[in-house]
């Protein structure tokens, strides 16, 4: 088992190993006194892993209840949050009790948000079961839900008390969902680590423990520097402004990771055409994304994507902050006037 320490406003550990689910009870006992736990999960993950988690937690002296909702991004709404917190109240969870997010990013974001608001905030623990959740969403304390106007438009910063990443759970992921997580893995290399990016050509699955550990160390460094996203943390949004627009234009038919992959290609190609980034780096990115079976293009027009992207919360007045690669390993925040965004996206298509 590997441990990565995150020194956020409330420090916590990320545990990474291939046999941790059946030990989650004892691992939780290291950070929690015996209490009532509510495991939040989706129907797919619950069918695969809920019983094992419950068994281990009960054996460690915890009293558990569970709340399971239908899988998928469509569940990531205020309505589900209301159902979760009503359930917590009915189950009489108190301030000293705790939630456990057992699942992917949707479960983690919602469980974290419910924990942030229930009784004005109780503890929660992340047990990520997708690659995306393992390397990205379970670390950093961003929680929230989607609104009709866009993704992740309501939420709170709320750090977990512990992250337990058992990567053997990734074995049951559909290949496309594993690939989605690969987009976020590749993103870290592009943002600030050329050596890591180069190592990924050896395959992500083949070096999964190292990959997860490096990604969470990378993300935790960024979170420690800028927990509330005033500056450098925005670099983690590489490919995301356009990616979110792609997700929305497709009515969420294109998944988050796939959209981020396409979004990264669009900004990097635009940077190449503007003479900011070498062509060879774009080719290296395309090769790595294709190796992990990720899409690299979409059929939406620059106008369609711009219309949706300008409703993005990263917009500040009449400008939008984009993360632009100057090379693999060197990305920068670039403030672009809103009326230049369409032209920029056009160059990237």
Ligand X SMILES: NC(=O)c1ccc[n+]([C@@H]2O[C@H](COP(=O)([O-])OP(=O)(O)OC[C@H]3O[C@@H](n4cnc5c(N)ncnc54)[C@H](O)[C@@H]3O)[C@@H](O)[C@H]2O)c1
User: What is the contact surface with ligand X in residues (CB under 6 A)?
Assistant: 42, 44-45, 48, 71-73, 76, 103-107, 109, 129-130, 132-133, 136-137, 140, 142, 151-152, 169, 172-173, 177, 180, 256
Our CB check for ligand X shows the closer of 64 and 137 to be 137
Q: Helix, strand, coil: what percent of the chain each, to 5?
A: 55, 20, 25
Min separation Cβ 101 and ligand X, Å: 10
Our CB check for ligand X shows the closer of 97 and 184 to be 184
Residue among 295, 310, 293 nearest 345 (CA): 310
Our CB check for ligand X shows the closer of 242 and 282 to be 242
CA count, 13 A, side-chain hemisphere, 216: 31
Find how far residue 309's CA is from the centre of its chain: 19
Our CB check for ligand X shows the closer of 98 and 110 to be 110
Min separation Cβ 265 and ligand X, Å: 18
Min separation Cβ 100 and ligand X, Å: 14
Q: Which residues contact 180 (CB under 8 A, 6 or more apart)?
A: 130, 131, 132, 255, 256, 257, 258, 294
Min separation Cβ 104 and ligand X, Å: 2
Alpha helix ranges (H) inside the chain: 24-29, 43-45, 51-59, 78-90, 105-117, 131-132, 175-192, 194-199, 208-225, 240-249, 256-273, 279-291, 302-309, 338-348
Q: Which residue has the tokens 């956020």?
A: 8
Min separation Cβ 274 and ligand X, Å: 27
Our CB check for ligand X shows the closer of 319 and 321 to be 321
Min separation Cβ 275 and ligand X, Å: 31
Min separation Cβ 328 and ligand X, Å: 21
Distance of alpha carbon 196 from alpha carbon 134, whole angstroms: 17
Min separation Cβ 82 and ligand X, Å: 18
Distance of alpha carbon 190 from alpha carbon 170, whole angstroms: 24
Our CB check for ligand X shows the closer of 25 and 144 to be 144
Q: Are strands 98-103 and 123-128 parallel, antiparallel or unpaired?
A: parallel
Distance of alpha carbon 195 from alpha carbon 184, whole angstroms: 16
Our CB check for ligand X shows the closer of 21 and 270 to be 21
Our CB check for ligand X shows the closer of 169 and 220 to be 169
Min separation Cβ 312 and ligand X, Å: 13
Let me know: does 113 contact 145? Beta carbons within 8 Å. yes
The four Cα atoms 184, 185, 186, 189 give a dihedral, to 10 degrees, of: 120
Our CB check for ligand X shows the closer of 136 and 227 to be 136
Q: Which residues contact 270 (CB under 8 A, 6 or more apart)?
A: 324, 344, 345, 347, 348
Give the nearest residue (CB) to ligand X: 105
Let me know: does 319 contact 213? Beta carbons within 8 Å. no
- Please report how the helices 240-249 and 302-309 are oriented relative to each other, as an axis angle in degrees rounded to 10: 110
Bridge partners of 53? none
């Amino acid at each position: 088992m590997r441990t990565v320490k995150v020194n956020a406003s409330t420090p916590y550990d990320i545990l990474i190993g291939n046999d941790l689910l059946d030990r989650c009870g004892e691992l939780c006992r290291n950070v929690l006194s015996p209490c009532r736990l509510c495991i939040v999960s989706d129907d797919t993950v619950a069918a695969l892993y809920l019983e094992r988690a419950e068994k281990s937690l009960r054996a460690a002296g915890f009293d558990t209840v569970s709340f399971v909702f239908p899988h998928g991004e469509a569940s990531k709404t205020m309505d589900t949050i209301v159902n979760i917190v009503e359930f917590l109240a009915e189950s009489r969870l108190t301030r000293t009790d705790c939630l456990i997010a057992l699942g992917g990013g949707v479960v983690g974001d919602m469980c974290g948000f419910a924990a942030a608001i229930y009784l004005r905030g109780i503890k929660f623990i992340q047990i990520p079961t997708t690659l995306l959740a393992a390397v990205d969403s379970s670390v950093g304390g961003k929680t929230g839900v989607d609104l009709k106007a866009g993704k992740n438009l309501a939420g709170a910063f709320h750090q977990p008390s512990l992250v337990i990443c058992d990567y053997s759970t990734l074995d049951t992921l559909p290949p496309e969902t594993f690939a989605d997580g690969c987009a976020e893995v590749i993103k870290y290399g592009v943002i600030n680590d050329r050596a890591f990016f180069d190592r990924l050509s050896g395959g992500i699955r083949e070096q999964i423990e190292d990959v997860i550990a490096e990604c969470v160390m990378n993300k935790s460094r960024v979170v420690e520097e800028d927990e509330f996203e005033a500056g450098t943390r925005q670099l983690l949004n590489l490919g995301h402004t356009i990616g979110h627009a792609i997700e929305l234009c497709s009515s969420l038919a294109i998944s988050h990771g796939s959209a981020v992959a396409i979004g990264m290609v669009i900004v990097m190609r635009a940077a190449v055409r503007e003479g900011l980034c070498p062509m060879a780096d774009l080719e290296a990115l395309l090769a790595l994304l294709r190796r992990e079976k990720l899409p690299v293009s979409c059929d939406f027009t620059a106008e369609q994507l711009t219309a949706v992207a300008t409703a993005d919360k990263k917009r500040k007045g009449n400008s939008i902050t984009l993360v632009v690669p100057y090379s693999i390993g060197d990305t920068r925040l670039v403030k672009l006037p809103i009326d230049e965004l369409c032209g920029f996206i056009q160059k990237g298509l």
